[in-house]
Amino acid sequence: MELYKSWYVILVISLSISSFVVQVSYGFDIESLETFLHDQANRSLLKPQTGTLYNIPLPSNFTGMELSVVRLRTGSFRSRGANFSSFYIPPQLKPNPYMKRLAIVYENLGNWSSLYYKVPNYSLVAPVVGFSIYDSPNSSVIGSKKLNFSIKGDPISIWFNKIELEGKNETPKCVKFGDNGSFKLKNMTKTNGCVTKGQGHFSIVVPSQPTSPPMKKKGILLIWWLIGFCGGFIGVVSLVLAMTAMFKIVKKKKLEAMEKQSEKEVPFDSIWIGRSKMPTASMVRTQPALEQEYAP
């Protein structure tokens, strides 16, 4: 019974470790991508002209993504808005806190979109595009503060160059992705675009047919799962073995220490019986002092 229980625990632990390994091995983490892109923009623009959109070159293992940045004076941003990349930001937006200059970072994830962003039961039919607004101090193009803004008038409109419906007769919908993997669906506007009142990432989706994923993908997934499982399992087993060994060593040390201690304190002799050490009383024990003194 006990043995069965401990194996069950080992199995559960190794299963959870293996799923962790699988998740890590994919590594399409939105937050680290954002950090990387913003850092890239920060480093490759030294003295940009205000009002000019700059395309930021990306390393070859990001081919397919687009990144661009524009630096604006907040005053002109408020009076004229900004019409760059896939976003038309109307006038009257009020950034918070107020900084003299701001920088808008635009992203288009291109063919990487579906690796980073997923909507359950829907498939993306357009690349994911996004924008975010930062302060832009003189010392760096992209400051450390992300700015909020409030919209009183028209919302921001988003358009997509490429919507791939491929004969799907489902009605496409706009999707807005939150920071933590959350998303919100919305109808498209009459002009086949999307609108928003906040910054973030956006795309267009259609309901996906409930088809099973292609065998090849399944096979790869299975292989990853097996690798993760075996890795996790071997890890846990060796951990258990190591812990058992350590426990044994500690136990042995303790026993030895106890034996030494007992040898010091109690004037017992030991004899070996079979393989175990047994104490035997020697002939002379502690004198029964009290008894002698008060003896009549």
Q: Shortest approach of ligand NAG to residue 180 CB, angstroms? A: 4
* Residue nearer to ligand NAG on the CB measure, 88 or 224: 88
Q: Shortest approach of ligand NAG to residue 122 CB, angstroms? A: 15
Task: Tell me how far apart the alpha carbons of residues 27 and 57 are, in angstroms, rounded to a whole number.
Answer: 22
Listed residue (124, 16, 115, 107) closest to 66, CA to CA? 107
Residues that bind ligand NAG (CB under 6 A): 38-39, 42, 63-64, 83, 88, 96-97, 111-112, 115, 138, 140, 142, 144, 148, 171, 178-180, 182, 187
Per-residue b/e over 240-252, b at no fewer than 16 CB within 10 Å? Answer: eeeeeeeeeeeee
Q: Shortest approach of ligand NAG to residue 22 CB, angstroms? A: 19
Q: Which residue pairs, CB below 8 angstroms and at least 24 apart, start in 260-263? A: none
Are 87 and 62 in contact by the 8 Å Cβ rule? The answer is no
* Residue nearer to ligand NAG on the CB measure, 115 or 234: 115
* Residue nearer to ligand NAG on the CB measure, 59 or 296: 59
Give the DSSP letter string of 224-280. HHHHHHHHHHHHHHHHHHHHHHHHHHHHHHHHHHHHHHHHHHS--EEEEETTEEEEE
Cα-Cα-Cα-Cα torsion 138, 140, 146, 151, nearest 10 degrees, comes to: 50
Q: Shortest approach of ligand NAG to residue 237 CB, angstroms? A: 35
Q: Shortest approach of ligand NAG to residue 187 CB, angstroms? A: 4
Listed residue (74, 154, 139, 69) closest to 104, CA to CA? 69
**Strand, helix or coil at 288?**
coil
Q: Shortest approach of ligand NAG to residue 148 CB, angstroms? A: 4
* Residue nearer to ligand NAG on the CB measure, 63 or 244: 63
Q: Shortest approach of ligand NAG to residue 74 CB, angstroms? A: 13
* Residue nearer to ligand NAG on the CB measure, 17 or 89: 89
Q: Tell me the three-class secondary structure of 191-235, residue by residue.
A: CCCEEECCCEEEEEEEECCCCCCCHHHHHHHHHHHHHHHHHHHHH
* Residue nearer to ligand NAG on the CB measure, 38 or 201: 38
Q: Shortest approach of ligand NAG to residue 191 CB, angstroms? A: 11
* Residue nearer to ligand NAG on the CB measure, 110 or 235: 110
Angle between helices 215-265 and 2-26 (to 10 degrees): 130
* Residue nearer to ligand NAG on the CB measure, 92 or 187: 187
